[in-house]
Structures are given as C-alpha cells and as structure tokens.
A and B are shown apart, each in its own frame.
Chain A
Amino acid sequence: MVTASEVWAALADVPDPEIPVISVVDLGVVRDVRVEGGRVRVEFTPTFLGCPALERMRDEMAARIEELGAKPEIDVVLDDSWSTDRITPLGREKLREAGFAPPSPRGAAPPTLLQLQRAGLRCPYCGSADTRLENLFGPTPCRSLRYCAGCRQPFEQFKTI
C-alpha cells in the first residue's frame, strides 16, 4: 500500500504549468495528504481563482497518484488558507533562479500602491533594490512587472497575497 510520504514525493514532481520550475508542493498548494486504504485524499488550495492552470494541476496530481496504484480524490479547498507565505524556501530559491522575484512576506496590512511603486524589491538577476513597478499585472494573475534600473532588465515579481 502506498504511504503518505510516497504521495508527497510524487506530488513534488508535478510542476506548476505556468511556472514549471516550481512544483505544486514547493508552491504550497498541497495542504494535506491522507491515505485511506486504497484511496488517497489530497487537499488542494488554488493560488488565484482566475488561474487557468488549476485544472491542469488537479488532473496531473490525480494522474501521479494513479501511477502509484491508488485511487485519487482531489478536494479543492476554496478558502484563504493559501497565501504566498506558503511557498517553501526551496520554492522561493527556484523562482529567483528562473528570473521571478519571489513574493515579499505578507504584512499585517495589505500592500499599498505606494509601497509597490517605490524601490526596495530586489531584482532576481543582479540583486539591486533599485527597481520600480511597471505594471501591477503580468502574464498571469499572480505576477506583476517591474524594471531594474541596476541591470536595465524588466522582471516578473510574484505578487504577495
């Protein structure tokens, strides 16, 4: 019979379809894994509700569990238990290496436009903090666009939510 740690290991190979450098486990969207006889229940918390990758993630997780010989049950949990603080340290490092600035930690209050517009968020390429907001929205709902004055390179910033 399959064990929970085998399931976690298998899910750690399921990439985020939009940002394939990071897995669903590193992204923190797998909230719980429970093995009940031949069934595996996974609690999955989507990132942004408008994300078109949700079905892909769900189907790929189910497929990996079937490969382990178990019957998958993916429960999609639609509450606020996922936040960008759940991205693992390893996941943050992988994002940075791929040119995505990882999200800043959540503060007590939501971010303001002024905070986002000013310099301070680091460029994933050169590390300079001399960066500015170009656009609140990027190619997917979870990203925004910034520009680094240090290396004159635009880059994508994972939004904090």
Chain B
Amino acid sequence: MPEHSRAELLLPIADDELVLGWRNSEWTGIAPFLEEDVAFSSIAQNEIGHARALYGLVAEELGTTADELAFDRPPCEYRCAPLAELRRLDWAGTIARHFLYETADELRLDALKESCDAAVAGLARKIDREEIYHRLHAKMWFDRLRDEPRFRTALLELWPYALGVVPEHLRDRFGERAELPSNTVLQGARGTHTAELEPLWEEMTMVRRSIPGAAW
C-alpha cells in the first residue's frame, strides 16, 4: 500500500461529510416544520460523526488527531467537493443536494467496503448501515418534490457539481441512479473551491482558533 493511502482515500470523504454536515446544520431551528428540523439536524449530526470516524483512521496513519485534521488546516487544503460547500438558502436546493449527495455517497461507500484495509472496510460497512436512514429520508423528499418545478431546476443546477463528488469511473452509474445525464460538463472539480468555503471555515474553526491548544 502507498505510504499515505488512507489520507488519499478518506480525507476527501471526511471533508465532504464535515462540510456538508455543517451546511445542513444551518437549517437547525428554521427547517420547514418541526419534525423536519429534528430529522435534518439529526442527519447533519450523523454526517459529522462519520467525518470524525474517518478523520480518526487517517489520523492513526499520519500520527495526528481527528480534531487537528478537521480544524487546523487552511481552507485551501480541504479536499471537499464544491457541491458540499455551496450555501443553499432554499429548501428545494437543499433537498436536491441532499438527494444527489446521498446517491453519490452510496456508490462511494460500496467501493470502500471492498477496501483491503480491514479498518477502512469495517468503518465503511458501519457508515453504510446508518446511511440507510439518510437515503430513506432523501428518497421520501425526492418523491414528494419530484414534479415541483423549483426542485427540478435545483437538481439541474446542482448536477454539474454533484458529478465532482465521485471519481470518474463511477459517474456513469451515478447518472443512472440519479436519472440525470452523466455526459454533463462537470463544474466544481474536487481540489477547487467555491468562494463559499472560506466564510464557512471561518465560522467552523472560530472557537478552536480563539484559544489554540485548549482542551475542550
């Protein structure tokens, strides 16, 4: 195995989960109705839990800690896909991203479950089991909104970004699952960032940066 194979493999996924978990948590308190507030906050919390576990495996390899990986890198070193960074203030766009992301994440986890690193495969199986409920939630909303023009527009707007979540060899299958054309020109490739990441990072790391080295 290459020297830093876990970092290569897992950091992009962990960063996606952290940043999207953060974004989704912005709905806490203002989701369309109370039950949805609880559900979407719970999903956000769980994604951040997944990020923590993934960072933990990378940290073992790099001799650091999950918190250092999550919060002590400058924004340009994050490996998240731009889809996760976008600030979506409308529910149709939020649900479109949620559906696209969960669809991509399932494909990615299926590949990870086959990893020859037993710890990685074991964690992927655990995450996948929990994700079943995220997918059911996304599917429920997809069915509810599928014929709404605002939702269709949001799906088409986000699809070029969503393609950047999975590696190239999974894009055809992603297109089939999402019922969207995989030959669409990708926008926001992984490794590039939108202008919306930096304000998110500022807020997300604010407390930790306020007292460097403190134990919370």
Interface residues of A (CB under 8 A from B): 48-52, 78-83, 110-113, 116, 134-141, 145, 159, 161
Interface size class of B (residues with CB under 8 A): 20 to 34
Tell me how far the C-beta of A103 lies from the nearest C-beta in chain B, rounded to whole angstroms. 12
In the complex, which residues 45-66 of chain B have their Cβ closer than 8 Å to any Cβ of chain A? 45-50, 52-53, 56-57
Asked if A80 and B49 make an inter-chain contact with CB atoms under 8 angstroms apart, the answer reads: no
B208 at the interface (CB under 8 A from A): no
Pair A141/B122 contact, Cβ less than 8 Å:
no
Given contacts A49-B49, A78-B122, A137-B137, 7 further A-B contacts (CB under 8 A): A50-B42, A50-B45, A50-B46, A50-B130, A135-B35, A136-B140, A137-B42
Interface contact B129-A161, CB-CB below 8 Å:
yes
Given contacts A80-B126, A161-B130, contact A137 B49 (CB under 8 A): no
The answer to whether B137 touches A49 (Cβ under 8 A) is no
Summarize B's interface: helix, strand, loop or mixed.
helix
Known: A136-B133, A137-B137, A141-B45. A78 touches B38 (CB 8 A): no
Contact (Cβ within 8 A) B122 A49: no
Cβ contacts under 8 Å, B139 to chain A: 113
Total A-B contacts with CB atoms under 8 angstroms apart: 80
Q: Is the CB of B133 within 8 A of A49?
A: no
Q: Which of B35, B119, B140 contacts A78 (CB 8 A)?
A: B119
B39 CB–A CB distance under 8 Å:
yes
With most chain A CB atoms within 10 A of its CB, the pick from B49, B50, B119 is B49
Known: A49-B49, A78-B119. A135 touches B38 (CB 8 A): yes
With a cutoff of 8 Å between Cβ atoms, the chain B residues found around residue A81 in the complex are 122
Nearest CB of B to A55, in Å: 11
Inter-chain contact A79/B136, CB cutoff 8 Å: no
Give the shortest distance, in Å, between A136 (CB) and chain B (any CB).
Answer: 5
Q: Which residues of B contact A113 (CB under 8 A)?
A: 136, 139-140
What is the CA–CA distance of A135 and B37 in the complex, to the nearest angstrom?
10
Interchain nearest-CB distance for A109 vs B (Å)? 10
B132 interface residue (CB < 8 Å to A): yes
Contact indicator B123/A139 (Cβ below 8 Å): no
Which of A78, A111, A137 interacts with B123 by CB under 8 Å? A78
Q: Please, how many angstroms separate the alpha-carbon atoms of A110 and B122 in the complex?
A: 18
Report if A50-B49 is in contact (Cβ < 8 Å); known contacts: A78-B119, A135-B39.
yes
Task: List the B side residues contacting A139 at CB < 8 Å.
Answer: 38
With both chains docked as a complex, state the minimum distance between the C-beta of A113 and any C-beta of chain B, in angstroms: 5
Per-position binary interface string of chain B over residues 84-110, scored 1 when its CB falls under 8 Å from any chain A CB and 0 otherwise: 000000000000000000000000000
B42:A140 contact, CB within 8 angstroms: yes
Q: A78-B56, A135-B38, A145-B35 given as contacts; is B50 within 8 A of A50 (CB)? A: yes
Q: Distance (Å) between the CB of B33 and the closest chain A CB? A: 10
Closest residue on chain A to residue B21 by CB atoms: A50
